[in-house]
Amino acid sequence: DSGVTQTPKHLITATGQRVTLRCSPRSGDLSVYWYQQSLDQGLQFLIQYYNGEERAKGNILERFSAQQFPDLHSELNLSSLELGDSALYFCASSPRGGGGPKETQYFGPGTRLLVL
Amino acid sequence: AQTVTQSQPEMSVQEAETVTLSCTYDTSESDYYLFWYKQPPSRQMILVIRQEAYKQQNATENRFSVNFQKAAKSFSLKISDSQLGDAAMYFCAHSGNTPLVFGKGTRLSVIA
């Protein structure tokens, strides 16, 4: 158990809908990262937040957005869902202040999203 | 941009034997970390081992060790005394000034 929690574990929804994935980092970790794992694209970095502020952005679609709250949990919002958004979405957290990407990242169990 | 290449989509090993998974990377940074993550059928991403680029000594964690060749940009993972529980996807990853960049993974099967 990495100490990172993600809810829900599974999500089934229809095209065009909007969903919210939630992540709680390890106690004391200030940085949260979101990744997408799909069969065709592999594991891709989406976005990083550090202490409430966006720190780095990867291959995140405009239909997707995220935020980190004062209690440091994070939410990833996916809207206007398409079939191709079906994937495993991971949250990871890292410990130190500064949110440096060279820190070790600890992964949550993931949320499996299926868009029908 | 950083890239990570794992040239072996699949590998197999006999139980109790040793196997080496290959990884090469490309980066323009001088300060970076390299990781191996394991993803068993549960799909959880589990950190196996970490190597800081500034350290010449190869990292070791119990039965897992790496061969880090900085000049060659090579970072292989050796698993000794393989166990059935080692069967999983293994991902090599680079982290520098950008968050983790992953290779496409190597699926390891362990034969009893």
Interface test with B, best of A47, A50, A104, A105 (most B CBs within 10 A): A105
Q: Stretch A72-77: mean pLDDT, rounded?
A: 97
* Greatest CA separation for chain B: 42
Q: What's the pLDDT at A61?
A: 95
Compute the distance between CA of residue B94 and CA of residue B72 in angstroms, rounded to an integer: 15
Work out how many CB contacts closer than 8 A connect A with B. Answer: 59
- Number of other residues whose CB lies within 10 A of the CB of residue A107: 22
* pLDDT of A99 strictly over 70: no
C-beta of residue B110 within 8 angstroms of C-beta of residue B17: no
Backbone angles phi, psi at A3, to 5 degrees: 95, -5
d(CA B25, CA B5): 6
> What are the tens digits of pLDDT across the range B2-18?
899 999 999 999 999 99
For residue range A13-63, list pLDDT tens digits in order: 999 999 999 999 999 899 999 999 998 778 999 999 999 999 889 989 999
Residue A79, min C-alpha distance to chain B (Å): 24
The count of C-alpha atoms lying within 13 angstroms of the C-alpha of B49, restricted to the half-sphere facing its C-beta, is 20
Secondary structure (H, E, C), chain B: CCEEECCCCEEEEECCCCEEECCEEECCCCCCEEEEEEECCCCCCEEEEEEECCCCCCCEECCEEEEEECCCCEEEEEECCCCHHHCEEEEEEEECCCCCEECCCEEEEEEC
Average pLDDT over residues B51-56: 90
Residue B29 is predicted with a pLDDT of 85
Q: Which pLDDT band, with edges at 50, 70 and 90, does A96 fall under?
A: low
- Give the angle B2-B5-B6 at the CA atoms, nearest 5°: 150
In the structure, what pLDDT confidence band is assigned to residue A101 with cuts at 50, 70 and 90? low
Mean pLDDT, all residues of chain B: 94
Give chain A positions within 8 Å (CB) of B32: 102
A30: helix, coil or strand? coil
User: What distance in Å separates the CA atoms of residue B38 and residue B31, rounded to the nearest whole number?
Assistant: 24
Q: Is the Cα dihedral B85, B89, B92, B95 positive or negative? A: negative
Report how far residue B31's alpha carbon sits from residue B27's, in angstroms, rounded to the nearest whole number.
Answer: 10
Nearest chain A Cα to B46, which residue? A107
Q: What is the chain B residue with the closest CA to A92?
A: B45
Mean pLDDT of B60-76: 96
pLDDT surpasses 80 at A97: no
Q: Lowest-pLDDT range, A110-114, B42-46, B63-67, B98-102? A: B98-102
Q: Which residues of B touch A (CB under 8 A)?
A: 31-33, 35, 37, 42-47, 50, 91, 95-102, 104-105
Residues sharing a CB contact under 8 Å with residue A36, sequence separation 6 or more, in sequence order: A43, A44, A46, A59, A87, A88, A89, A90
B56, pLDDT greater than 90: no
Residue A98 pLDDT exceeds 80: no
- Verify whether the Cβ–Cβ distance B101 to A45 is below 8 Å: yes
